Chain A
Amino acid sequence: MTVKVRFFARFRELLGTDILVEKKSGMVLATVVKDIAQKKKEGYDAIFDEKGNFREFVIVMRNGKRLEPAETTTVTVADGDEIAVFPPVAGG
């Protein structure tokens, strides 16, 4: 099955975006993102903490629907899913 992962802003700069990945069905969402992010340490570190969890401020969406941090490790992806990973900014 194919899943599309979209990184935004700084995450896009580090990891690219609109990445299509072929995965076995039933894979956990966090693992899908982690597999891509691991290709570049800086990108991985920007998104995940030392324990391998999404950093608490990172916004993760699946098909336009926001996921709670805990859900990202339990929700599995399905064919055609679009995952968006976004870092809020704080400057003004």
Chain B
Amino acid sequence: MLSERELDRYKRQILLFGEEGQEKLKKAKIFVAGAGGLGSPISIYLAVAGVGTLTVVDMDVVELTNLNRQILHYDRDIGKKKTASAAEKLREINPDITVKVIDTTIDKTNVARLVGSSSGIVDAMDNFPTRYLLNETAVHKKIPLFHGAIRGLYGQATTIIPDVTPCLQCIFPKAPPKEVFPVVGVTPGLIGMIQATEVIKYLIHDGRLLTGRLLIWDGLESHAEEICVERDPKCPVCGGSHSPDKKSETIPVKSPARKKK
């Protein structure tokens, strides 16, 4: 049940997807892997939207060089753990949700436990090895993975529904080389918003998800392109559970549930 306060807080979006949709957000548990450039806007917007339980994982300390893009962290937070900084801001932004933070490095020994029984995993990482771990866990636990990545003014995003869409390994069999990537805050802001939008749509069962499609954003050209991506029957992560009769279009999203008032 939504409280009077929640009905008021979310009034304008309840116009969009009804109290039923808001309840779905409230019941959801979203795992945000990373409290950096992507994780900051994603967790802020999922918090204000009323996602009931947000778990944010990061192991870093806030540095001055983070502050051009990691909008959860302020100048005063330099030297503080990103998880502590994130928890403080997110709880202030929306005290009506539960914010959990975990100060650790995601690795193969802890990833399954950290993800737990989340409703969705948001990939806000800055490296492919950890993304592959999240992907394996998502596929194994059949939890959706909302992928995003950026470099400079370029970005990409896709939504992965295990058993239905290609997994991250199908789409990117080989990781791009590791580097200190250039970035301006608007790019993770924009890609993060696509990911957060996907999470909300998935949770409230509305719209058409970015499944089977890789969105490519070119900020220099202000141009978005999408390319179709397909499952790899030989994929070492999800190939074994390949179901040829299932097409990426058949995503588990019902018809729009918008509520008009």
Residue B48 CB within 8 A of the other chain: no
Determine if B140 is an interface residue (Cβ-Cβ < 8 Å): no
A48 on the B face (CB < 8 A):
no
Q: Is A84's CB under 8 angstroms from B172's CB?
A: no
The answer to whether the Cβ of B167 comes within 8 Å of any Cβ in the partner chain is no
User: Would you call B90 an interface residue if the criterion is a C-beta within 8 Å of the partner chain's C-beta atoms?
Assistant: no
Asked whether B151 lies within 8 Å of A89 as measured between CB atoms, the reply is yes
CB within 8 Å of A: which B170-188 residues = 172-179, 181, 183, 188
A contacts with B, residue count (CB < 8 A): 20
Point out the residues of chain B lying under 8 angstroms from A57, CB to CB. 172, 174-177
Interface bits B218-249 vs A (CB < 8 Å: 1, else 0): 10110001011110000000000000000000
CB-contacts of B120-171 with A (<8 A): 123-128, 148-152, 154-156
Does A66 lie within 8 Å of B181, measured CB to CB? Answer: no
Binding-face segment, B20-28, B30-38, B196-204: B30-38
Cα separation A57 to B181 with both chains bound (whole Å): 16
Interface stretch of the complex, out of A9-17, A26-34, A70-78? A9-17
Q: Which of A10, A64, A92 contacts B150 (CB 8 A)?
A: A92
Chain A: CB-nearest residue to B187:
A91
**Which chain A residues lie closer than 8 Å to B87 at the CB level?**
none
* Interface residues in A51-92 (C-beta closer than 8 Å to B): 56-57, 59, 61, 64-66, 84, 86-92
| Known pairs A66-B229, A90-B127, A91-B151; A12 contacts B37 (CB<8 A) | no
A9 CB contacts on chain B under 8 angstroms: 151, 154, 216, 218
How many residues of chain B are within 8 Å of chain A by beta carbon?
Answer: 39
B39, CB-defined interface residue at 8 Å:
yes
Closest to A10 in B: B154
Q: Which of B123, B124, B127, B176 has a CB less than 8 Å from the CB of A87?
A: B176
Contacts of B150 in A (CB 8 A): 89, 91-92
Contact A86 B220 (CB under 8 A): no
A8–B216 contact, CB under 8 A?
A: yes
Which residues does chain A contribute within 8 Å of B36, judged by CB atoms? 92
A12 (CB) vs chain B CBs: closest residue: B218
The 7 closest A-B pairs by CB, nearest first: A89-B151, A91-B181, A92-B126, A56-B174, A9-B154, A57-B174, A92-B38
Listed in ascending order, the chain B residues whose CB lies under 8 Å from chain A are 34, 36-39, 123-128, 148-152, 154-156, 172-179, 181, 183, 188, 216, 218, 220-221, 225, 227-230
Binding site for B on A (CB under 8 A): 8-10, 12-13, 56-57, 59, 61, 64-66, 84, 86-92
List 11 additional A-B contacts (Cβ < 8 Å) besides A13-B220, A89-B150, A91-B126: A59-B227, A89-B149, A89-B152, A89-B156, A90-B149, A90-B151, A90-B175, A91-B149, A92-B36, A92-B39, A92-B150
